[in-house]
Structure 1
Amino acid sequence: MRTSTRVAGVLTGLTLALGGAALAPAAHADVRDCINVVEAQLQGGEAPSYVVTACKTGQSGGHAGCVTGLTKGGGVTNGTAVTACSAAP
């Protein structure tokens, strides 16, 4: 994985962790935040369906299932998955 891609994912995650997720007014926005973190890493297009499913799992309290769903789907690093799933609940 390219360093610039990894840095972009980490910075996005930090932004969400430090304030972006706290400003989300609705539960639906939390899933969107999770998806946005993954899309920042993948850098291109709409998130695949496995990302949406995993983020919804994270929103309902299944943090471990969310991380597993993102990393097993392919293309999502463990660090990005943890950050994304932390934005979901």
Structure 2
Amino acid sequence: MRTSTRIPARIAGVLTGLALAVGGAALAAPAAHADVRACINQVERELRGGEAPEYVRAACSAGLGGDHDQCVSGLTKGGVTNGTAVSACRVAP
């Protein structure tokens, strides 16, 4: 009887580990998206006119990748003020 009680306990342990691993991956994915969204939202507040153009998304994605300078220059080339570009790119990574 001893072995029959160990098998369900092991299965429960494995299932718990899998659930934690999958749950952790699911929680990590939205965080990256939220950072780009925070950058875009910062710029949209300044633009005050609907959805951000594609250059904003591209620049914020560069910021998410860790290229702060490219993020700032991409935004300022598109007409975003330097102050807004710097603060938006700061929230991207």
Common fold, TM-score beyond 0.5?
A: yes
2:40 to 35, 39, 44: 35
Q: CA RMSD in A?
A: 0.8
Question: Could you tell me which residue of structure 1 aligns to residue 27 of structure 2?
Answer: none
Distance 2:75 2:31 in 1: 23
Higher helix share: 2
The gaps in structure 2 that reach 5 residues or longer are 1-29
Pairs aligned (count): 64
Secondary structure of the residue aligned to 2:51 is coil
Return the TM-score normalized by structure 2: 0.67
The answer to whether the aligner puts 1:26 opposite 2:31 as a matched pair is yes
Distance 1:57 1:46 in 2: 19
The answer to whether the aligner puts 1:59 opposite 2:74 as a matched pair is no
Question: Could you tell me which residue of structure 2 aligns to residue 86 of structure 1?
Answer: 90
Q: Deviations over 1:52-77 (max 9, x none)?
A: 00000000000000000000012x10
Return the TM-score normalized by structure 1: 0.70
Structure having greater relative contact order (Cα 8 Å, sep ≥ 6): 1
Q: Which runs of 4+ in 1 moved over 4 A?
A: none
Query: What is the aligned-residue identity percentage?
Result: 70
